[in-house]
Amino acid sequence: MKIVVLDGYTINPGDLSWQELDTLGEVRIYDRTAPSEVVERCRGYEFILTNKTVITAEMLDRMPDARYIGVLATGTNVVDLMAATAHGITVTNIPAYSTESVAQEVWALILAIVQRVESYTSAIREGEWAQCADFSYLSWPLMELHGKTVGIVGFGNIGHAVARIARGFGMKVLASTSKPQDALPEGVVKADLDDVFRRSDIVTIHCPLTPETEKLVNAGRLALMKRTAILINTSRGGVVDETALAEALERGEIYGAGVDVLSTEPPKPDNPLLHAPHCVVTPHIAWATHEARARLLRIAISNILSYLAGAPKNVVN
C-alpha cells in the first residue's frame, strides 16, 4: 500500500510522530505541495492525504491509481467530491477532532477584547503603571461577562461547547439553529438569526461556509448589533463581509471583533481587518493545539484502517 501526504507540515511541524502511519505501508510525506505538483506527487499512490491542498476534477482525471482520499480536516471543500465519486474514490474527513480547542479559542478572543490583557501588558512595559499616581492603572474600559447574552450562529459540536462555557460565566445563551428548542441544552434559547444579532452582547459564528452562508455577516446584520457588541468568527472567513465589518469597527457601530479566519489565507496585506480598530486577529490557529492535532492524526489512521477492513467511516461522498 502506498500513501502520500501532500501537506503534512501544519498538522505535524515536528512535535508529533508519523510512525504509526509508516506501519501501514510505503509513505511519502511532503510539507507542502503546490497546485502544479499535485498530480505528479500523487502518481502511483493509492491513498492520498490532504489538509488544504486542493484536488480538482481535472487532477483526479490524471490520478488513475487513487482509490482513497483522506481530508485531514473537517471541511471537505478542497476535494471535488462529485468527481471523486465518479472515479470510485472514497473520501473521508476528520469530524469533531478540535471541538474543545476551537471553543477555547473563542473564549480567548472574547477575553482578549473584554479584558484588554495585551493592551495593559504593553502599557506596563512602557512604564505607564510605574508612573501612575494610583495603585490601579485604568486606561481602557473592561467588561464583565456575567449576565451578558452570547448569541451562537450554528449549534453543532463547537457551538454546544461554546454554550457550555458561556453558562459557566453566568451568561444567557441564544442559538440560531435548525434544531428544535427541545433538542437544545438547558439554558440555551432558540432564536431567529436576525434576533440573535439584535439581542446579543457577543455573537459567535459556528456555521460552515456554503453559498447560503457566504457573507452571512454583512452590513445589514452588523447594523442590527448593539454598539457595545462583539463579533467572533472562528468558522470560515467567507462567512463575514470583511469590508463591512472593518467599516462598522471604524465607525464605532460595534465595540469589537475577534477573528481566527480570513477570506484569503494567508491574508493579503490590504485585508481591511488587519488594520481595523478593536479587532483581534489570530492566524487560523483555533484547531491547532497539540492535543487536537494528535487526535486528528489518530482519527486519520483509524479512517484508513476502517476502509481497509471494508467498513469505511467518516465518508463524505
CATH number at residue 304: 3.40.50.720
Model pLDDT, residue 59:
98
The partner residues of 157 in beta bridges, in order of sequence, read none
| Rounded average pLDDT over 233-262 | 97
Q: Are 127 and 80 contained in the same domain? A: no
Q: What is the mean pLDDT of the chain?
A: 97
The partner residues of 231 in beta bridges, in order of sequence, read 203, 257
Q: Which of 116, 198, 236, 295 is catalytic?
A: 236
Specify if 119 maps to a domain.
yes
**Is the pLDDT confidence value at 199 over 90?**
yes
Give Cβ neighbours of residue 296 (< 8 Å, ≥ 6 apart).
11, 72, 73, 94, 97, 98
Q: What is the pTM of this model?
A: 0.92
Q: Which of 160, 206, 221, 284 is catalytic?
A: 284
Q: Is residue 167 among the annotated active site residues?
A: no
Q: Which of 265, 275, 290, 291 is catalytic?
A: 265
Q: Is residue 146 among the annotated active site residues?
A: no
The partner residues of 279 in beta bridges, in order of sequence, read 257
The span from the CA of 298 to the CA of 292, in Å, is: 10
List, in sequence order, every beta strand (DSSP E) within the chain: 2-5, 26-29, 47-50, 68-71, 90-92, 149-153, 172-176, 188-190, 202-205, 230-233, 256-259, 279-281
Q: Per-residue pLDDT tens for 120-178?
A: 999 999 999 999 999 999 999 999 999 999 999 999 999 999 999 999 999 999 999 99
**Is the pLDDT confidence value at 240 over 90?**
yes
| Rounded average pLDDT over 267-296 | 97
Q: Are 16 and 89 contained in the same domain? A: yes
| Rounded average pLDDT over 207-231 | 96
Q: Are 221 and 253 contained in the same domain? A: yes
Give the count of domains, the chain.
2
Strand, helix or coil for residue 204: strand
Specify if 64 maps to a domain.
yes
Model pLDDT, residue 133:
94
Q: Is residue 236 among the annotated active site residues?
A: yes
Model pLDDT, residue 81:
97
**Is the pLDDT confidence value at 75 over 90?**
no
**Is the pLDDT confidence value at 102 over 90?**
yes
Q: Are 159 and 134 contained in the same domain? A: yes
Model pLDDT, residue 268:
95
Specify if 314 maps to a domain.
no
For 250, the domain range is 99-281
Specify if 240 maps to a domain.
yes
